[in-house]
Amino acid sequence: MSSELVMDGSVQALTPEALIRLLRVAGPSGAVTVKGVVTRVTYWPSDEAPKHCYGVLTLGAASIKFRIPPEAGVRLDEPVVLHGTLEIAPTNEGKATHEVKLVGDVLGTWLPRKPEGHDGPLPVREAPPRSLGDFIAQQHDVARLGFLVTETAWNDLLMTSQLNDLRQCPQRRTNFTRADIFIGDLKSLCETEGVYGIVVARGGGDALDTIGGSLPVLKALIGTGLPFYVAMGHANDMLLVDKYADQTFATPSSLGHALAVACHALEERRALDLQHRQLAQRNKQLEQDAVALREKIAGQVAPVPVAKNTLGWRDVLIGVLLLLFAAVVWHATH
């Protein structure tokens, strides 16, 4: 059959070979540099003196064939950077497709990194969420909190809470645009003696996801084993750390108000506990006074003496005999 146009009834059709001749594939002009991971390597010819190295370079969901000198010595699963020109030609199988091949040499290597957000499963939080109020009530001190803050957030916390004790809390003025610096400051803060909870607060702005949406940051926070509270300066967006925090606040100001309420509740509880102890001590003293008073009254009442029986058995016998004698005399006279 001819490779030219053929007629089938009233329909004009092409053969696959004719279609391939009509295809025009445009590629970049000049040399290109491509990086990826070597997923296939073969040498031709396969004797002791090969002339070419063929393989496939893959990254993500796409791949490209390559041909480089055998002296490059690439290995399977090696991340490399190739430099060369593209060769576009119909495939040998005669299919209506074209094959793109990079012809060049190895320029160098590169270091793959795990993409952000795909660092494996999150650690499991063993303890249930604990509200800020419960934390302060159980720890009996706001100074048990450590703070990772910006300058603006810290000033907002001091102004809205009006708590002098807050100034004594351990804190780090951290960088909310660098996750690595933030994680380092978090570790340093957790090494501070007396820190049993973490507060993360910033004064709003752009790039909230740099910290708030970072999986490594979240894993570091959960990995401390401590409760943590977040105020990232936003009112609408739900960030990744918000979903796992023990309690989330829209702004540092709202967090400051919550700290003030919790500390005032703690002071009221301390006052009630003191009052309860004083009343218990007073009640104990009254009970002791009542016992002493009863003993004193009992000691002042004299017992009524009981008359002793002074009659002996002889006196009783004489009395009986006299009664019998009187009875005999009375009977004789009557």
List pLDDT tens digits, range 35-88.
999 988 988 887 778 889 999 999 888 889 999 999 988 998 899 999 999 888
User: For the packed helices 215-223 and 179-190, what is the interaxial angle rounded to 10 degrees?
Assistant: 0
Angle CA(279)–CA(276)–CA(161) in degrees, nearest 5? 140
Identify the pLDDT of residue 1. 47
Cα separation of 185 and 202, whole Å?
14
CATH class of 132-264: alpha beta
Nearest to 132 by CA among 258, 297, 253: 258
Mean pLDDT across the stretch 217-236? 87
For residue range 286-298, list pLDDT tens digits in order. Answer: 888 888 888 888 8
* pLDDT greater than 60 at residue 94: no
Domain boundary assignment for the chain: 29-109, 132-264
Q: Does domain 29-109 have CATH number 2.80.10.50?
A: no
Cα separation of 170 and 21, whole Å?
74
CB 198 within 8 A of CB 226: yes
0.85 exceeded by pTM: no
